[in-house]
Chains A and B, each alone.
Chain A
């Protein structure tokens, strides 16, 4: 089979030109006529009863067109997950209680921002403050303030439990008894946030017929439409979410946000378009951040390093509402058990309510925190047993074709070559163990090297569960691709185009992409479940192959040839071996119109993970099939520690990744670089600092995301374990979330290699380094 023409190529982005010329329209750029400005009133208390909200003065202010509180809403709750065990627990606007500083209480729409601000100031709210709790272990205590009504099935014996996951296999007690070495450690990860450059924003415009047109900065319009329609009491047909480019999301823009609901309701009430754009300080202090996990990890090994048993207990500081808190404790189980063979496991995860803002998934969704713990501990175990850190990982690493304890299969798992190639490429063994401080050395800089290993799932069943794609031919042989997929920067539109181009042999410039419009494009799983390339990609492949089949059928008739002898190439079909027996797509389409009632050439494709499995695994027990497509990686970090100031620099990151095969290597590299950057921010500098539920550093100035000065050399090694096959489903693996985790662990291990300081809590700030060195 010949090499693909489009898939696997470093194709330039389809949306590149509009972005470099500033013509790409983001939600904040949409300006329908008559636009009103919306603003939201937020709670100053972390926990309080709302006794009364008086909006009369605000409503009467000249220029105010609508004011809403909870009593103006249909009173329907929503949640990131909504199951019988975990029912929706959040009102779009707080009804009788507020549970975090910044919680949304009321919203106004006015002719301009000054009037809106003045209106907010005129709303009088009477609160009765209640005792609040911010630390999750304190919240679990029986005497802690009760944040939500209890659900005894999941709370006893602890208080404030939003969710619990329990899983395992084998017999850990027996496993520990048989172990030659057991160690137990606690690792803490801290609160970080997404830091997307485009603020959260929504423009809602209810037309004359009461149909809502919405632009919103999101990670996929279909889940937004579903939740918006339900909480507004409207049918999905009455809510249209239209395409807008998205300025980054990283997990922070997935489910329903209050400002989206409020913009829509304010528009319905005022009859005019309403825009709500969150200010940067609102985003840092009242919006969803990532999930800080406490990981208690007890591991038993044989003296040759093989893992025998592991006991894991995770506590997630969930925030005031469930959010995705009950998902991360499920996923953490997955990220703990994926990369290495583990005969005995006991896993327990708690999502604990606290009076902090709601949390959201943040790129990696538990994997960074879990891999940091597991990989740090594995290095310590190796050191204790006198084993090589690479050897111990190779010994335990999953191999191709292995079945996981949950019944999934890792198929062409490339973990072992990832580890080997990363080690070889970096000269790991030549550098490891050299950096420790030597007496009398004058240079304060020390270098160290470390490795980490991780795995990620590529697509899983969560609403909307499946993706559909439509390809339709234009009569000149060009095509239009309709997909509900949303490009949030990762290049979704481009790779889908490449797949269709490959199947139909149409140049990329002649394929137009229509994307992410709930009215005009088919359903899509969204850009938050690591399934764009695999799920939507296969749907696109199917849709295009349907069209190709129709073209070949037409050609078989017109050319009087056997369909098996026909080849598609360069927008035409020809008979193998006789290139003069050829018809262009345009000619074939014209022939079809003449001869076949003019049926248009349209193809539908549908795909879904685990097509024979009805549901996502149980969040409570992890039982069930999770994914059929797992990605693996090994990452090596080289760091430089300034032992005078404690500042650590990531000098070099090498990512050996099994992405199956890359659809667009240029885009894959960009994803790797970006994740290395996020990981170094996680490792060294980023921290949402909170005190009694309030954010101390709600700005880009004080929340330290990396700048170009912190840029690390980022190299990658492809481990190709799959391939693109015409007419066959392909298993290309995710690249958007899997590379923030192993590198974080590698950094922790590299710091230890450099200066002998072992840190159990992120971030690895200069202050902690100096403390570890005994200098302060």
Chain B
């Protein structure tokens, strides 16, 4: 039980790599990702857990980085949007979002893609309700969600009759 204040070196496991950052207890995971580690894919849309734009995966589960203290995240395997694809090859979820036109301004996209990725890992043939439940916390102001929904179905292989 060591109580501390001020900067301390913390270790984070992100996208399969180990990172160190000097962080104070009050710094959120989102702040450390964006401001210390240059991983700006996770976005601050509201900073209070109401929009989903800061979503990252923690041990495969989607969570809100703006509501996590960085110092609390040292044991977990964190996946950010940057970790989803290798080089120029995109993950199938990302391809699906592009193919269906599910990206407009792109600000909600990293969170949506990660949440979709987690959903499809957990549920191979998600129902309409499964999809809505997984993405209900992700606000999108551009697409009306129609093409995002289609992209999830495409990635899941549940869209019938599509090329």
Residue of A whose beta carbon sits closest to that of B42: A22
A708 with B149, Cβ < 8 A, contacts A20-B109, A701-B50 known: yes
Is residue B82 within 8 Å, beta carbon to beta carbon, of the partner chain? yes
Residue of B nearest to A19 (CB): B106
Assess whether A517 is interfacial by the CB under 8 Å rule.
no
Q: Which residue of A lies closest to B50 (CB)?
A: A700
Mostly, the A contact residues are loop
Known: A28-B40, A28-B43, A713-B146. 4 other contacts (CB 8 A): A20-B103, A20-B113, A29-B40, A677-B143
Please, how many angstroms separate the alpha-carbon atoms of A674 and B143 in the complex?
Answer: 4
A247 touches B105 (CB 8 A): yes
Residues of A participating in the B interface, judged by any CB pair closer than 8 Å: 10, 12-13, 15-26, 28-29, 31, 194-199, 245-248, 250, 277, 279-280, 488-491, 666-667, 669-670, 673-678, 699-701, 705-709, 711-714
Taking the closest CB of chain A, its distance from the CB of B104, in whole angstroms, is 4
Whether the Cβ atoms of B105 and A197 lie closer than 8 Å is yes
Asked whether A20 and B94 contact (CB < 8 A) given A674-B143, A677-B145, A700-B46, the answer is yes
CA distance A711 to B132 in the complex (A): 10
A197 and B107 within 8 A (CB): yes
Q: Does B76 contact A (CB under 8 A)?
A: no
Do B142 and A674 touch across chains, with their CB atoms under 8 A apart? yes
Complex CA gap A714/B148 in Å reads 13
Q: Does B6 contact A (CB under 8 A)?
A: no
Judge whether B50 and A491 touch: CB under 8 Å. Answer: no
Is B141 close to A, CB under 8 A? yes
B154 cross-chain contacts in A, Cβ below 8 A: none
Bound complex: CA A541 to CA B87 (Å): 34
Interface of chain B, main secondary structure: loop
Q: Please, how many angstroms separate the alpha-carbon atoms of A195 and B140 in the complex?
A: 9
Please determine whether A491 and B104 come into contact, CB atoms closer than 8 angstroms.
yes
In the complex the two chains form, is B90's CB within 8 Å of A198's CB? Answer: no
Asked whether B14 is an interface residue with its Cβ less than 8 Å from the other chain, the reply is no
Does A247 lie within 8 Å of B147, measured CB to CB? no
In the bound complex, residues from chain B placing their C-beta under 8 Å from that of A675 are: 144
Binding site for A on B (CB under 8 A): 34-35, 38-48, 50-51, 53, 80-82, 84-85, 90, 94, 97-99, 101, 103-110, 113, 131-132, 135-149
Whole-angstrom distance between the alpha carbons of A677 and B149 in the complex? 14
In the complex, the answer to whether A673 meets B143 with C-beta atoms within 8 Å is: yes
Cα(A13)–Cα(B81), bound, Å: 19
- Chain A residues with CB under 8 A of B131: 708
Please state if B51 and A31 are interface contacts (CB–CB under 8 Å).
no
Known: A20-B94, A22-B110. A669 touches B41 (CB 8 A): no
**Cβ–Cβ contact A280 & B104, under 8 A:** no
Cross-chain contact B148 with A708 (CB below 8 angstroms): yes
Contact B149 A674 (CB under 8 A): no
Chain A residue, CB-CB nearest to B109: A19
* A491 proximity list for chain B (CB < 8 A): 104
* CB pair A23 B41 closer than 8 Å: yes
User: Does the CB pair A17–B147 fall under 8 Å?
Assistant: no
Complex formed: what's the CA distance from A10 to B99 in Å?
A: 9
Decide: A250 and B35 in contact? CB cutoff 8 A.
no
| Contact (Cβ within 8 A) A711 B149 | yes
List the B side residues contacting A248 at CB < 8 Å. Answer: 104-105, 107, 141-142
Cross-chain contact of A250 among B101, B110, B141, B146 (Cβ < 8 A): B141
Instruction: Evaluate contact between A25 and B40: CB separation under 8 angstroms.
Output: yes
Return chain A residues, CB-CB under 8 Å to B110: 20, 22
How far does the alpha carbon of A22 sit from the alpha carbon of B135 in the complex, in Å? 18
Given the complex of chains A and B, what is the CA–CA distance between A605 and B144 in angstroms?
Answer: 35
Q: Closest Cβ of chain B: how far from A662's Cβ, in Å? A: 12
Task: Report the minimum CB–CB distance from A372 to chain B (whole Å).
Answer: 19
Q: How far is the CA of A245 from the CA of B85 in the complex (A)?
A: 21
Interchain residue pairs with CB less than 8 A apart (19): A10-B101, A13-B98, A19-B103, A19-B109, A20-B103, A25-B40, A28-B43, A29-B34, A197-B108, A199-B45, A247-B45, A280-B50, A699-B46, A700-B139, A706-B144, A707-B136, A708-B132, A708-B135, A712-B144
Residue of B nearest to A245 (CB): B106
Inter-subunit contact B48/A280 (CB<8 Å): yes
CA distance A248 to B45 in the complex (A): 11
Q: Which of the residues A20, A667, A711, A712 comes within 8 Å of B97, measured between beta carbons? A: A20
10 closest Cβ pairs, A-B complex: A22-B41, A489-B105, A247-B107, A19-B106, A677-B144, A22-B81, A673-B144, A489-B104, A29-B40, A700-B50
Cβ of B144 and Cβ of A676 under 8 Å apart? yes
Question: Chain A: which residue is nearest B129 at the CB level?
Answer: A709
Known: A15-B106, A20-B90, A670-B101. A711 touches B145 (CB 8 A): yes
Docked-complex contact B106 and A24, CB < 8 angstroms? yes
List residues of chain A with CB within 8 A of the CB of B41: 21-23
The reply to whether A673 and B141 form a contact with Cβ atoms under 8 Å apart is no
- Among A19, A26, A248, A490, the most chain B Cβ lie within 10 Å of the Cβ of A19
Are A197 and B141 interface neighbours, CB within 8 A? yes
Q: Is the CB of B146 within 8 A of A673?
A: yes
Q: How far is B99's CA from A488's CA once the two chains are assembled, in angstroms?
A: 19
CB distance from B81 to the nearest CB of A (A): 3
Given contacts A25-B40, A29-B40, A197-B105, contact A705 B94 (CB under 8 A): no
- Contact B138–A708 (Cβ < 8 Å): yes
Q: Among A12, A25, A28, which residue has its beta carbon within 8 angstroms of that of B99?
A: A12
Would you give the shortest CB distance from A14 to chain B, in whole angstroms?
Answer: 11
User: A714 near B35 (CB under 8 angstroms)?
Assistant: no
Most chain A beta-carbon contacts within 10 A, residue among B45, B84, B94 = B45
